[in-house]
Amino acid sequence: METNETGTTGWRLRPTEDGIQISDSILWLDARFTGDLSFLSSAHCLTGRTEARVITTEETVRLLGINHIKLNALVCPYNQVIALGQLKMELLPSGAALGGASLYVETRQGTLLYAPQLQAHKTGITRTMQLKSADTLILGARTPYPAQHHPSRKKEKDRLLQAVQAYIARGDYPVILCEPFAVAQELCKLFAGADIPLAVSKSIYRINKVYEQYGSELGGYSLLHRKLREKKLVLLPLEKPSVRANSGRPLPEGPLFCVEESVVQNTHPDLMRPVNERFIISSSCDGRDLKSIIQTVEPREVYFTGPYAKQYELELASSKIPVQALFPSHLPVLF
Q: What is the CATH number of the domain that holds 126?
A: 3.60.15.10
What's residue 2's pLDDT? 40
pLDDT of residue 262: 85
CB contact at 8 A, 183 and 160: no
Q: Considering the domain boundaries, does residue 8 fall inside one?
A: no
The pLDDT of residue 335: 47
Q: Which parts of the chain register pLDDT below 70?
A: 1-9, 47, 147-149, 228-229, 240-249, 329-335
Same domain? 205 vs 275: yes
Q: Is 307 a member of any domain?
A: yes
Q: At what angle do helices 183-193 and 202-213 cross, to 10 degrees?
A: 80
* Residues 219, 188 within the same domain: yes
Sign of CA dihedral 284, 47, 90, 134: negative
Torsion angle (degrees, nearest 10) of CA 293, 298, 303, 308: 20
User: Does residue 290 sit in the same domain as residue 319?
Assistant: yes
Q: Are residues 174 and 267 in the same domain?
A: yes
Report the distance separating Cα 17 and Cα 34, nearest Å: 11
Q: Is residue 273 part of a domain?
A: yes
Q: Are residues 141 and 288 in the same domain?
A: yes
Question: Which pLDDT score is estimated for 207?
Answer: 97
One domain for residues 293 and 275: no
Predicted pLDDT at 147: 60
331: in domain: no
* Predicted pLDDT of residue 317: 86
Range of the domain at 320: 13-145+284-325
Structural domain contains residue 1: no
In a domain, 3, yes or no: no
Q: Is residue 181 part of a domain?
A: yes
Domain membership flag for residue 5: no
Residue 80: predicted pLDDT: 97
- pLDDT for residue 206: 96
